[in-house]
């Protein structure tokens, strides 16, 4: 059984070969995109076992997702092929600079039918961590029920919870996310918000004020992502500011937050001090953006350790 269990929708992503509005794009590259599966792949590459729970369509796109994610070493034994609904797809649109827009076709997808009945309690028996994002409960009522069933199982079994809000305003409003965060944080061991999304949700502007807010709402550990500037990490008693790695060449910013989560959670599982967890998280986020694609730039553990050692010398 895996150390870490996550759940959520992964979609087939079509990435354009040229920039500009989609109406002018003629050629696309097929990839996969999913916040939770990205983090799972990152954890596996760092040497930890991880399982992904989801539904995909019983179609070629669904088989592509399961074969790709399973091929990365993530356990996909709990993924259900749904013959009554399609696999969700999305199209990326590239604009000037690093701006990226995404169009989703996920309504009625197989993953939107993920429900409490898809959670096998036996699968969680030996888990050391459960990781979820705020995307899943916003997809559908069924997904929301699955999300909280997973939280209930983790709580019953004494498994720590990791929670990344992953704000998606196409799925829910800032008020919806604020309510979700307030409901989940009392059950959260590791909270992984971004500064920009936290400001959008709560209106607070300063990192330290946000850290204090999240601790007051119940988070045991908060790692606040600042992008290229690094992160702030707080455990209730201490606040640490972690510098980023701004010298990396950015090829694609999407997936950096999921990589950050993988780095932090790897350190957490290894018993590293929270400051070191934050350093590992920032390093993974930096490496993720150097290659096009949501997870393709994530390093294997020997590469990661060598790169990080070189950066801090």
Where residue 227 sits, what CATH number does that domain have?
3.40.1190.20
Range of the domain at 250: 4-303
pLDDT the model gives residue 249: 64
The reply to whether 211 falls in a domain is yes
pLDDT the model gives residue 307: 86
* Dist. CA 224–CA 300, nearest whole Å: 24
Rounded mean pLDDT for each run of 10 residues along the chain, 313 residues in total: 96 91 92 95 97 98 98 98 97 76 92 97 96 97 97 97 93 94 97 94 86 93 91 88 76 76 97 93 86 77 90 73
The reply to whether 308 falls in a domain is no
The answer to whether 217 touches 182, Cβ cutoff 8 Å, is yes
pLDDT the model gives residue 250: 63
The reply to whether 309 falls in a domain is no
The reply to whether 285 falls in a domain is yes
pLDDT the model gives residue 119: 95
The reply to whether 164 falls in a domain is yes
* Dist. CA 65–CA 33, nearest whole Å: 9
* Dist. CA 35–CA 295, nearest whole Å: 10
Residues annotated as catalytic (active site), given as ranges: 258
The reply to whether 42 falls in a domain is yes
Question: Domains in the chain: how many in total?
Answer: 1
The reply to whether 311 falls in a domain is no
Diameter over CA atoms, the chain: 55
Own/partner long-range contacts of 267-274 (Cβ < 8 Å, ≥24 apart): 268/129, 268/162, 268/190, 268/221, 269/3, 269/4, 269/48, 269/128, 269/129, 274/221, 274/223, 274/233, 274/235, 274/238, 274/240
pLDDT the model gives residue 121: 96
The reply to whether 312 falls in a domain is no
């Amino acid at each position: 059984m895996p150390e870490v269990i996550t759940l959520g929708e992964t979609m087939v992503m079509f990435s354009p070969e040229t920039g500009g509005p989609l109406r002018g794009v003629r050629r696309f590259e097929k990839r996969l995109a999913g916040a939770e599966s990205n983090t799972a792949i990152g954890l596996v590459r760092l040497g930890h076992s991880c399982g992904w729970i989801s539904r995909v369509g019983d179609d070629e796109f669904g088989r592509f997702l399961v074969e790709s994610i399973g091929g990365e070493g993530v356990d996909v034994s709990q993924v259900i092929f749904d013959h009554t609904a399609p696999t969700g797809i999305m199209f990326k649109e590239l604009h000037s600079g690093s701006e990226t827009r995404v169009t989703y076709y996920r309504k009625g997808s197989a993953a939107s039918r993920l429900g409490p009945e898809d959670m096998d309690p036996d699968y969680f028996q030996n888990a050391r961590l459960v990781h979820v994002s705020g995307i899943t409960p916003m997809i559908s009522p069924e997904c929301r029920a699955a999300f909280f069933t997973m939280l209930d199982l983790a709580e019953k079994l004494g498994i720590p919870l990791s929670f990344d809000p992953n704000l998606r305003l196409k799925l829910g409003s800032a008020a919806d996310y604020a309510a979700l965060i307030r409901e989940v944080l009392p059950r959260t061991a590791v909270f992984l918000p971004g500064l920009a999304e936290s400001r959008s949700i709560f209106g607070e502007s300063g990192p330290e004020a946000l850290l204090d807010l999240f601790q007051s709402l119940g988070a045991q550990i908060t790692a606040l992502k600042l992008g290229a500037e690094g992160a702030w990490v707080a455990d209730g008693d201490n606040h640490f500011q972690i510098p980023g790695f701004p010298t990396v060449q950015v090829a694609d910013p999407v997936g950096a937050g999921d990589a950050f989560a993988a780095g932090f959670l790897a350190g957490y599982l290894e018993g590293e001090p929270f400051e070191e967890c934050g350093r590992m998280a920032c390093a993974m986020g930096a490496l993720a953006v150097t290659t096009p694609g949501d997870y393709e730039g994530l390093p294997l553990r020997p590469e990661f350790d060598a790169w990080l050692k070189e950066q801090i010398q």
